[in-house]
Amino acid sequence: MDILGIETSCDETAAAVVSDSGNRLRPWIVRSNVVASQTDIHREWGGVVPEIASRQHVRDICGVVERAMSDSGKSWSDLKAVAVTQGPGLIGSLLVGVSFAKSLAWSLGIPLVSVNHLAGHIESLIIEGGLMRLPAVVLVVSGGHTNLYLVTSGENDQSNYQLIGRTRDDAAGEAFDKVATLLGLEYPGGPVIDRLAKQGNDQAVPFPFARMTHDDRNAGPTVDRPVGLAATRSYRLLEFSFSGLKTAVKRHVQKRNREIDPGGGLSASEVADICASFQRVVVSSLLDRTFRAARQYGARSLGVAGGVSANSRLRADATMRANQEGLPLFLPSLSLATDNAAMIGAVGLRQYHAGLTASLGLNAQASLAI
């Protein structure tokens, strides 16, 4: 069967047609995957402006969906359901996709399926990599999220997701963007820092690692803690923090600017060194906790998903460490790492087969847990 997936959680308008493959190990075939990015629009503002994003979704969504249908070679009558991201994300952006999907499902007389954006990122690992061996530990890391999930098997071919760690402050992708701004680099910061870091010395600046083990840091965001780990040092070691690192970069840049002749500014080589040193700490922090969680929960496979999973240092270091640990590692292709609708369609198919459809009263939810 064929399903249309729609994704508008942030600043990409995306649509895709996904089909059953008949292969249990690689269950999905992506017939089309169209993404209209708003990066160029938001670059002049240094970040995503929610009102601008939602208005651009309105302009783009009809053309994107039509292109996805055309590229797929399927007709409207082939569709058995419409899947759409319900949340989490920017509420104005989500409303555009949800409203469009409800109207389309009603007009075609087919079911509507609501999908969690974060579940979509986890599913992106399966689209090309095949089924993961469970239990698995998956790091979802992007501009808005830095979460660790324990993935186990559930009923009706569904997966259970348990949140076992998350950031206490900035998401990793957000930290990349903010550090890029401090260095006078363009938005989005992740790809720029990744590129410049390859030219720098990652040991040049001794930026600090966040240590989440002190008793005075016991208070923080409430997450679904595993039984028996409610207030333990072991649990806190799976939390992330990037605000201190961001502040350390800011202070280093300010100090260097005071030391440099007025009007001189940081040299290109020094900017590259800062990028490399910052990126090393972020990647090490992410992977230290991910592999610690894998050992703690007896994971049989690992996954890294979300926009930051496109980072070349993260992919290389994750691959090296997984090989050392003897664990299968799942990474999305670059086209599936960032927001897309293929992952939404894939989750939608899985939920449709389990009978999990939504009513036309569905509403967007900016904060939506898996």
User: Per-residue pLDDT for the chain (370 aa), expressed as one digit of tens each?
Assistant: 999 999 999 999 999 999 999 888 889 999 999 999 999 999 988 899 999 999 999 999 999 999 999 999 999 999 999 999 999 999 999 999 999 999 999 999 999 999 999 999 999 999 988 889 999 999 999 988 999 999 998 887 788 999 999 999 999 999 999 999 999 999 999 999 999 999 999 999 999 988 765 433 443 433 444 433 334 445 567 999 999 999 999 999 999 887 776 656 889 999 999 999 999 999 999 999 999 999 999 999 999 999 999 999 999 999 999 999 999 999 999 999 999 999 999 999 999 999 999 999 999 999 999 8
370 domain-assigned: no
Q: Are residues 161 and 70 in the same domain?
A: no
365 domain-assigned: no
Strands 79-87, 112-116: pairing is parallel
Q: Are residues 213 and 313 in the same domain?
A: yes
The pLDDT of residue 227:
39
The pLDDT of residue 26:
86
Q: Are residues 249 and 167 in the same domain?
A: yes
Q: Are residues 177 and 250 in the same domain?
A: yes
The pLDDT of residue 23:
85
The pLDDT of residue 12:
96
200 domain-assigned: yes
Taking alpha carbons only, the member of 197, 206, 217, 195 closest to residue 281 is 206
Contact 30, 18 (CB under 8 A): yes
Q: Are residues 49 and 165 in the same domain?
A: no
Q: Are residues 201 and 318 in the same domain?
A: yes
368 domain-assigned: no
Q: Are residues 102 and 159 in the same domain?
A: no
> What's the CA gap between 244 and 169, in Å, rounded?
9
How many independent structural domains does the chain possess?
Answer: 2
> What's the CA gap between 307 and 337, in Å, rounded?
5
User: CATH number, domain at 256?
Assistant: 3.30.420.40
Q: Are residues 212 and 318 in the same domain?
A: yes
The pLDDT of residue 219:
38
Write down the residue that tokens 């989440």 correspond to.
Answer: 212
369 domain-assigned: no
The pLDDT of residue 237:
74
Q: Are residues 140 and 117 in the same domain?
A: no
> Six-digit token pair at 123?
């599913």
> Six-digit token pair at 161?
């997701």
Q: Are residues 307 and 201 in the same domain?
A: yes
Q: Are residues 284 and 194 in the same domain?
A: yes
Domain of residue 50 covers 2-124+338-353
> What's the CA gap between 200 and 183, in Å, rounded?
14
Q: Are residues 14 and 60 in the same domain?
A: yes
Contact 183, 259 (CB under 8 A): no
Sequence-separated (6 or more) residues with CB below 8 Å from residue 223: 163, 164, 165, 166
The pLDDT of residue 222:
37
Is pTM beyond 0.85? Reply is: yes
